[in-house]
């Protein structure tokens, strides 16, 4: 079946602009995660959605970062007023939820802020 | 809180030789442990997982790992390296039932020498 998909695969933006990154999870998966992968910080958790529950935003690095998940499926990660330190690969993962701990990752979006 | 330490940011082995990638974890509760592989410009692929069943876990592509509670280790092994195994490998932990976010090690890049 189809895996997790993310778009765009690459995004180059100017400092100060807003960007939106999209994630389509595996069909039927109730849990969705965003992670960030950067050279300096490695892989970091950003945010977690489970069903209709309030998301866990504890990993978001600043209030410039936000995410939503519509209809329990597609998710969008928004970064406002981008800074150069936001340059990284943003990875989305989904999980069946309900006691399943395996997370399946998408190919990522490489964000470059110039 | 939990953490993961991967010994060796870069490991080189000859084709056909044993692969051993080391991972030690810290967790205040019984952990769930994972190994992921990342090929260049791709997302993370799950190799194997430990979720409190058998301590010796077999995964894809001939890899296996053994959970040793006394040593807080979860080392990844493969008897005979192939060129296609060249990639970056990440060990990750979830801090037990009720937790969900992955905490990753910094990764080990495996090179396979022909």
Contact between chains at B101 and A56 (C-beta distance less than 8 A): yes
| CB of A94 closer than 8 Å to CB of A26 | yes
CB burial class (10 A; 0-12, 13-18, 19+) of residue A103?
Answer: buried
- Which pLDDT does position B29 carry in this prediction? 77
- Which pLDDT does position B66 carry in this prediction? 95
Chain A, 85 to 104: residues with Cβ < 8 Å from chain B are 91, 93, 95, 99, 101-104
- Which pLDDT does position B96 carry in this prediction? 62
- Which pLDDT does position B12 carry in this prediction? 97
A53 CB-near residues (< 8 Å, 6+ apart): none
CA A98/CA A86 separation, integer angstroms: 32
Mutation target for A interface from B44, B49, B60, B108: give the one with most A CBs within 10 A. Answer: B44
| pLDDT tens figures, A35-77 | 999 987 899 999 999 988 889 999 999 999 999 998 879 999 9
| CB of A64 closer than 8 Å to CB of A13 | no
- Which pLDDT does position A17 carry in this prediction? 98
Nearest to A101 among B90, B94, B104 (CB): B94
Q: Name the pLDDT band for A11 (thresholds 50, 70, 90).
A: very high
Asked if B29 reaches chain A (Cβ–Cβ under 8 Å), the answer is no
| pLDDT tens figures, B69-94 | 999 999 999 999 999 999 999 999 98
- Which pLDDT does position A108 carry in this prediction? 95
Going by the DSSP 8-state scheme, the letter that residue B62 receives in this structure is G
The torsion angles phi and psi of B73, rounded to 5 degrees, stand at: -125, 160
| pLDDT tens figures, A85-109 | 999 999 999 999 767 788 999 999 9
CA B14/CA B107 separation, integer angstroms: 20
Residue whose C-alpha is closest to residue B37's, from B113, B112, B114: B112
- Which pLDDT does position B80 carry in this prediction? 97
pLDDT tens digits, chain B, 114 residues: what are they?
A: 789 999 999 999 999 999 999 999 988 777 899 999 999 888 899 999 998 778 899 999 999 999 999 999 999 999 999 999 999 999 999 876 667 889 999 999 999 999
| CB of A20 closer than 8 Å to CB of A34 | no
Q: How far is A27 from chain B (nearest CA, A)?
A: 18
Nearest to A102 among B43, B49, B105 (CB): B49
Asked if B46 reaches chain A (Cβ–Cβ under 8 Å), the answer is yes
| CB of B68 closer than 8 Å to CB of B10 | no
| CB of B45 closer than 8 Å to CB of B37 | yes
Can you list the alpha helix ranges (DSSP code H) found in chain B? Answer: none
- Which pLDDT does position A111 carry in this prediction? 98
Chain A, 40 to 59: residues with Cβ < 8 Å from chain B are 42-43, 45, 48, 50, 56, 59
Residue whose C-alpha is closest to residue A28's, from A56, A55, A1: A1
Chain A residues in contact with B97 by the CB 8 A cut-off are 99
Residue found under tokens 């876990």:
B57
Chain B residues in contact with A99 by the CB 8 A cut-off are 97
- Which pLDDT does position B97 carry in this prediction? 62
- Rounded to an integer, the average pLDDT of A80-84 is 97
């Amino acid at each position: 079946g189809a895996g997790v998909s993310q778009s765009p695969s690459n995004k180059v933006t100017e400092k100060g602009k807003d960007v939106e990154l999209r994630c389509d999870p595996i069909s039927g998966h109730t849990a969705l995660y965003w992670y960030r992968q950067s050279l300096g910080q490695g892989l970091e958790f950003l945010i977690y959605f489970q069903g209709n529950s309030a998301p866990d935003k504890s990993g978001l690095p600043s209030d410039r970062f936000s995410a939503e998940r519509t209809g329990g499926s597609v998710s969008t990660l928004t970064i406002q007023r981008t800074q150069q330190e936001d340059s990284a690969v943003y990875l989305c993962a989904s999980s069946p939820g309900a006691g399943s701990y395996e997370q399946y990752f998408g190919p990522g979006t490489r964000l470059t802020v110039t | 809180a939990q953490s993961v330490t991967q010994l060796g940011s870069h490991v080189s082995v000859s084709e056909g030789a044993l692969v051993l990638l080391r991972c030690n974890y810290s967790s205040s509760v019984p952990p769930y442990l994972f190994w992921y592989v990342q090929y260049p410009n791709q997302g993370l692929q799950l190799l194997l997982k430990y979720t409190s069943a058998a301590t010796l876990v077999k995964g894809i592509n001939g890899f296996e790992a053994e959970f040793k509670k006394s040593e807080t280790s979860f080392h990844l092994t493969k008897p005979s390296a192939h060129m296609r195994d060249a990639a970056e490998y990440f060990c990750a932990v979830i801090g037990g039932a009720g937790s969900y976010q992955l905490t990753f090690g910094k990764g080990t890049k495996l090179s396979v020498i022909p």
